[in-house]
Amino acid sequence: MSGHSKWATIKHKKAAADSKRGKVFTKIIKEITIAARLGGGDPDTNPRLRMAIQNAKGSNMPSDNIKRAIQKGTGELPGQVIEEIVYEGYGPGGVALYIEVMTDNKNRTVAEIRHILGKHNGNLGATNSVSWKFEKKGIIVIPKDQIDEEQLLEYALDAGAQDLKTEDESYEVYTDINELEYVKDTLIAKNLVVESSNMTMVPNTTVEVDVKHAEQLLKLMDKLEDHDDVQNVYSDFDIPDDVMEKLSAE
């Protein structure tokens, strides 16, 4: 799998701070509600809902919150109608941006996303302007303190995984989207604790950025991720190690 973006590592660390502000709960609740609305409220027959519930439990979300989110999705409880939308665009240096949104007011949200992009030297693009640059994959995050890389690689490949990447504090196992649950369950059966498992968009190729563009991009990604309606942001930029060192030193 080509390229390696430091944003994944930064985003992972940022999630801990976000959880303290309740942002993680908000995003997971929206995902549960959408999943239940589209596929029904039974996790045994709705893989997307099952994954969302597992992630909610992994983030220590109370069971009552999960139940209410499901009931809003199935219509058992009143709630605002939430839509799933993908916005595509470009950031500093011409890098591609794929922005997944869940909103109850798409006119408000698109205006706010356009404003954020404009303030950070980016712009909104047309539908399918950058989506062809990405491939949907499954990603399983496993803390590094449980197992060494060689052993995990053996387990993962035997289970049908496609790739393994090592980050500062965790491993990322990549799978075909249809094999995500099977690979995850197989790794759990090896007595490994899975920190999270999700769908992700992986760029087919990456664009290396210099210090100036890297700094601008990280600020832009941070602003987009902080938006209440944004679920995920993916990009094809890659920050070389020497550039990352310069940013860290500032």
pLDDT digits (tens, 9 = 90+) for 73-90: 998 988 778 899 999 999
Q: Which domains can be identified in the chain, with CATH numbers?
A: 10-74 (1.10.10.200), 84-132+206-249 (3.30.70.980), 133-203 (3.30.70.980)
pLDDT digits (tens, 9 = 90+) for 87-116: 999 999 999 999 999 999 999 999 999 999
Check residue 1 and give its pLDDT. Answer: 32
Residue 4 has pLDDT above 50, yes or no: no
Check residue 121 and give its pLDDT. Answer: 93
Check residue 26 and give its pLDDT. Answer: 87
Question: CB of 220 within 8 A of CB of 120?
Answer: yes
Mean pLDDT estimate for the chain: 88
Higher pLDDT, 92 or 19: 92
Higher pLDDT, 135 or 80: 135
Instruction: Count CB neighbours of 209 within 10 A.
Output: 24
Q: What is the side-by-side strand order in the sheet with 196-203? A: 163-166, 170-175, 134-143, 196-203
The angle formed by the CA atoms of residues 200, 240 and 243, to the nearest 5 degrees, is 125
